[in-house]
Structure 1
Amino acid sequence: MSTAPELAGETPYIWRARQPRSRHRLICFPHAGAGATAYADWAALLPPEVELVAVQLPGRQDRIAEEPFTEVGPLVSVLTHALRPVLGGSFSFFGHSCGAALAFELAKALRAKGQPGPDHLFLSAQAAPGATGIRQLHALPDDEFRDAMLTLGGIDEEIANDEFVMDSLVPVLRADFALWERHRTAPDAPLDCPITVLAGEDDPQAPKESLEGWRAQTTAECAVLFHPGGHFYFLDSPGTVVSTLTEKMLGAAAGRTA
């Protein structure tokens, strides 16, 4: 019986669960404050045909001593170079919340450089560009910001109850929310890759009416799929989410090689 490959750091930005038999690669971008290991459990859920890669950004986990990015442009520019080892062949992007916004901007940047982009773009728990009515969190007073983060979920109870760890985590969370809540995407032409939007049915940061705008961001198919739960629905049912991604990814990979 074969064991799932372990997600391990290869470069400062790239963590990978190597799959020698893979024919497609899923590159994942974590949510605010999170690191690459947010996707570690997915390695055992993906089939051997799909290799898992997770992006590690400054300011978290083994890069906690580094300052997080404060502008989107430099971050995207760095990633177009730092991720080159995993941007060959057939690949898709998955991003959750702030990670979805990053995945979208990186796909646009690759197109602008004339480089191949993702076969499929999976955007999770992120309102479409230009959506209104979303509560802005980054400028809240410290106590209110911390309460808002705990209400959204995604923070382990052990961490939430550790004042020292929370004091270290909150500035990174605030920096990530500030980065993306202040950002306005350029009004570029739509992408040509399919987009699948995923969201929790009860997510206050990505309500249903805020997601339809993603359809205007691609000339290909755009599907909007809802799951039970809130902002961190995907932590409650990772197997269901990964199955959805796998079905769409392997279809895209087959189409590329046909």
Structure 2
Amino acid sequence: MTTPQIRELVPETPYIWRAKQPAATRRLVCFPHAGAGAAAYADWAALLPPQIELVAVQLPGRQNRIAEEPFTEVDVLVDVLVHALRPVLDLPCAFFGHSAGAILAFELARALRARGRKAPEQLFLSAQPAPGDSQVRMLHELDDLDFSTEIFALGGLDPELLEDEDVLDAMLYTLRADFTLFERHRIEPGAPLDCPITVLAGDSDPRAPLDEVRQWQEHTRGPFAAEIYHGGHFYFLDSPTEVVSRLAAAMLTPATLGGVA
């Protein structure tokens, strides 16, 4: 009897963690939210079908790169990722980005197109308002107490981490750096992408008002869909199987995408 292969998300290069899947015909490249590392997607490897290989982007300042300083400009980070992710863009792929990761996924897709490189077939943008004026409160200029209060209210943090003061300080440092990075960034006007965009959000997420999330429709000429889940900013932690199944179905049957939920 053959023992099933355990797909584990492991570091491959400084920027790439991959759960190797020899039978894969497509890749799902995931961009983590503020303060998080590639391991935020570790559980997804076992939930994806064998046709889809999981790749997660690892940025400086977290997990095995904790000693490195975070980036201070999104454009510089995108330029680095254009080259750093070349080894995993040889197969048809989709990008998934949660919150700040959605901005990074979108900007990278535009940068690949501008450089004549192979761009993602689909974009999945999670818990992030579309570019433009937003009612969402900026956090990066808050004092330490107010900033930490807002972050804890969003959830998504391992309670055990909060008990270690050194770990907590390091985490808040990276979180503030990421919020500063992405809240200061302005997405420049440009031609809409051609690939389908699917947005995902929690119905009670204060960081992603549904009317602002749905405005991503203006940034694609392709099909657009909205998937709304019960929950807050980290809705996908409550229903990972449902979310991953939805992504996989869309990647394997792209022709069925379309329509606004």
Answer yes or no: same fold by TM over 0.5: yes
Mapping of 1:133-172 within 5 angstroms? 133-172=135-174
3-state SS of the aligned residue for 2:160? Answer: helix
Contact 1:201 1:208 in 2 (8 A): yes
Separation of aligned partners in 2, 1:203 and 1:42? 22
Which of 59, 65, 71 in structure 2 is aligned with 1:69?
A: 71
Separation of aligned partners in 1, 2:241 and 2:256? 22
Partner of 1:248: 250
Question: Does 2:211 match 1:202?
Answer: no
Structure 1 residue identity aligned to 2:109 = A
Separation of aligned partners in 2, 1:25 and 1:252? 14
What is the deviation of 1:211?
A: 1.1
Matched length: 255
Contact 1:90 1:253 in 2 (8 A): no
Structure 2 residue identity aligned to 1:171 = Y
Partner of 1:174: 176
What is the deviation of 1:254?
A: 11
Distance 1:150 1:177, change over 3 A: same
Separation of aligned partners in 2, 1:86 and 1:216? 28
Structure 1 residue identity aligned to 2:94 = S
Contact 2:202 2:228 in 1 (8 A): yes
Mapping of 1:1-258 within 5 angstroms? 1-252=3-254
Separation of aligned partners in 2, 1:162 and 1:128? 36
Separation of aligned partners in 2, 1:4 and 1:224? 32
What is the deviation of 1:162?
A: 2.1
Distance 1:253 1:52, change over 3 A: farther
What is the deviation of 1:131?
A: 3.8
Q: What's the % identity of the aligned pairs?
A: 61
Structure 2 residue identity aligned to 1:39 = Y
Separation of aligned partners in 2, 1:119 and 1:232? 25
Separation of aligned partners in 2, 1:209 and 1:180? 20
Separation of aligned partners in 1, 2:235 and 2:109? 24
Distance 1:216 1:26, change over 3 A: same
Separation of aligned partners in 2, 1:43 and 1:4? 9
Separation of aligned partners in 1, 2:215 and 2:55? 28
Runs of 4+ in 1 over 6 A off after TM superposition: none
Separation of aligned partners in 1, 2:184 and 2:72? 10
Aligned residues: CA RMSD: 1.4
What is the deviation of 1:209?
A: 1.5
Structure 1 residue identity aligned to 2:134 = T
3-state SS of the aligned residue for 2:23? Answer: coil
> What residue ranges of structure 2 are gaps of 5+ in the alignment?
none
3-state SS of the aligned residue for 1:75? Answer: helix
Contact 2:29 2:93 in 1 (8 A): yes
Contact 1:150 1:160 in 2 (8 A): no
Structure 2 residue identity aligned to 1:240 = E
Scaled by the length of structure 1, what TM-score is found? 0.96
Separation of aligned partners in 2, 1:236 and 1:175? 27
Cα deviations by residue, 1:15-63 (Å, 9 ceiling, x for unpaired): 0000000111000000001000000000000010000000000000000
Contact 2:195 2:221 in 1 (8 A): yes
